[in-house]
Structure formats: C-alpha cells, structure tokens
Amino acid sequence: MGTRAGAATDGETALRVDLARRGMRLTDQRRFILAVVQATDRHPTAEWVHEAVRRRLPRVSLATVYRNLRLLAHHGLLTEIAGGPTLRFDARVMRHHHFTCSACGRIFDLEEPVDARLDARVAAQTGFHVSHHRIEFYGSCGRCTSRRPGRRRRSRRGPESR
C-alpha cells in the first residue's frame, strides 16, 4: 500500500503532490482509504471501506473514513454514487455510467461512452448550464438473471463485498 516518507513510491509521491496542490496532506488514513477504494471495482460503502482500513489502522473510526471519502470525492479523487439506500464510492473518476442490479445491489461500470451532445441538447432546451450528466441503468445482472425463479438467494455479506 505504500511506504513511509523517505522511501515513498513514485505513485505515493505523485499523490502527495496532487493532494498538496488541492490543499490537503497525505495522511495514513487518506492513503489507506484511497488505496482500498482503488483496489476494488465493487463501488463500496463507507462501512465496507472502514472494515478494510481497520485491518491496517485498527483505531480509525467510521466517521474519519466517511469524512475522508467525502473529502477525496469533493477534490475529484473519488466519485460519490448516490441513488440507493447508502452512499457508495468509485475510484474511477472519469465520467461513465453505471448499472445497478435490483436483485443483489451490485453496481457495475459501463463502457458505453458518455454523450456530451445530451448536455448541449438539455442546455439548449432549458437554458440551464449543464456541467455533466450521469445515467444510471437498473435491472438484473447476469448472475441474478440466471438463478432459477422462486429461489432468490441473498448473500449474508453486503452487496459491495461480492
């Protein structure tokens, strides 16, 4: 996940410089929180990130994790995904769409290109200034679709841990 100061990796040094430009320090908590989210494609909740970070930093609180996730998202290093019962986070910050499985709750990144012409059409029709848009798709993922009807199994773990 990284090394102590003096033996920092190129990636950690770049992150430290990037955060400094944004007026933030690279604390152990921020480094681990960001690394946990970047290491998964599961679009985790703050609770899931907290459990993962606690393996390395046992005293970190859920409030600290949540505050840092929101701060990292505010500064463009993560993306917040709202729309379900809990706020989720995504390390893939370039604009993209998501598919959410209504059965298991898992969120998938879609490779469908974002159509900037839609921003222009909405702006022209409404007079609004459109900075960007996000389209969310919902339905059943392949795994849930292939399950036999009448047998909806749900994992004991949360959707972000699958």
Structural domains of the chain, ranges and CATH numbers in brackets: 10-93 (1.10.10.10), 94-162 (3.30.1490.190)
* 97-101 vs 107-110, strand pairing mode: antiparallel
Among 62, 82, 79, 61, smallest CA distance to 70 is for 79
How far is the C-alpha of 136 from the C-alpha of 14, rounded, in Å?
A: 32
Residues 111-134: what's their mean pLDDT? 91
pLDDT tier at 17, thresholds 50, 70, 90: confident
**Average confidence score pLDDT of the chain:** 84
How far is the C-alpha of 14 from the C-alpha of 16, rounded, in Å?
A: 5
Write the CA distances from 102 to 12, 83, 138, 144, integer angstroms: 37, 12, 6, 9
Does the pLDDT of residue 9 top 60, yes or no? Answer: yes
* pTM summary value: 0.73
Name the token pair of 70: 């929101």
Residues 30-49: what's their mean pLDDT? 94
SS3 41: coil
pLDDT, tens only, 80-95 = 998 677 899 999 988 8
Helix (DSSP H) and strand (DSSP E) numbers for the chain: 6, 5
Q: What pLDDT score was predicted for residue 120?
A: 93
Among 55, 71, 68, 70, smallest CA distance to 29 is for 68
SS3 64: helix
User: Above pLDDT 90, what percent of the chain?
Assistant: 49
Does the pLDDT of residue 76 top 60, yes or no? Answer: yes
Name the token pair of 133: 């848009």
